[in-house]
A and B are shown apart, each in its own frame.
Chain A
Amino acid sequence: DGGITQSPKYLFRKEGQNVTLSCEQNLNHDAMYWYRQDPGQGLRLIYYSQIVNDFQKGDIAEGYSVSREKKESFPLTVTSAQKNPTAFYLCASSRQGAKFPDTQYFGPGTRLTVL
Chain B
Amino acid sequence: AQSVSQHNHHVILSEAASLELGCNYSYGGTVNLFWYVQYPGQHLQLLLKYFSGDPLVKGIKGFEAEFIKSKFSFNLRKPSVQWSDTAEYFCAVNPPYSGAGSYQLTFGKGTKLSVIP
Are B108 and A48 interface neighbours, CB within 8 A? no
B12 within 8 A of partner (CB) = no
Are A101 and B108 interface neighbours, CB within 8 A? no
B40 within 8 A of partner (CB) = no
Are B44 and A90 interface neighbours, CB within 8 A? yes
The interface-forming segment of A20-28, A65-73, A75-83, A103-111 is A103-111
Query: In the bound complex, what is the Cα–Cα distance between A56 and B9 (angstroms)?
Result: 31
The interface-forming segment of B14-22, B60-68, B74-82, B97-105 is B97-105
Which of A92, A101, A105 has a CB less than 8 Å from the CB of B32?
Answer: A101
B73 within 8 A of partner (CB) = no
Are B102 and A106 interface neighbours, CB within 8 A? no
A2 within 8 A of partner (CB) = no
Are A48 and B90 interface neighbours, CB within 8 A? no
Query: In the bound complex, what is the Cα–Cα distance between A101 and B90 (angstroms)?
Result: 18
* Cβ–Cβ < 8 Å partners of A98 in chain B: 101-103
* Cβ–Cβ < 8 Å partners of B103 in chain A: 97-102
Against B, the Cβ 8 Å flags (1 = close, 0 = not) of A37-76 are 0001111110010100000101000000000000000000
Are B9 and A40 interface neighbours, CB within 8 A? yes
Are A48 and B104 interface neighbours, CB within 8 A? yes
* Cβ–Cβ < 8 Å partners of B94 in chain A: 101
Which of B9, B42, B92, B102 has a CB less than 8 Å from the CB of A48?
Answer: B102
Are B105 and A108 interface neighbours, CB within 8 A? no
Are B32 and A41 interface neighbours, CB within 8 A? no
Are B46 and A105 interface neighbours, CB within 8 A? yes
Taking Cβ atoms with an 8 Å cutoff, the residues of A that contact B are 31, 33, 35, 40-45, 48, 50, 56, 58, 90, 92, 97-109
- A98-B102, A106-B43 known; 11 new pairs, CB 8 Å cut-off, are A40-B109, A42-B90, A44-B107, A45-B106, A50-B101, A56-B102, A90-B44, A98-B103, A102-B103, A103-B49, A108-B43
The 7 closest A-B pairs by CB, nearest first: A97-B102, A106-B44, A42-B107, A42-B109, A43-B107, A101-B32, A101-B103
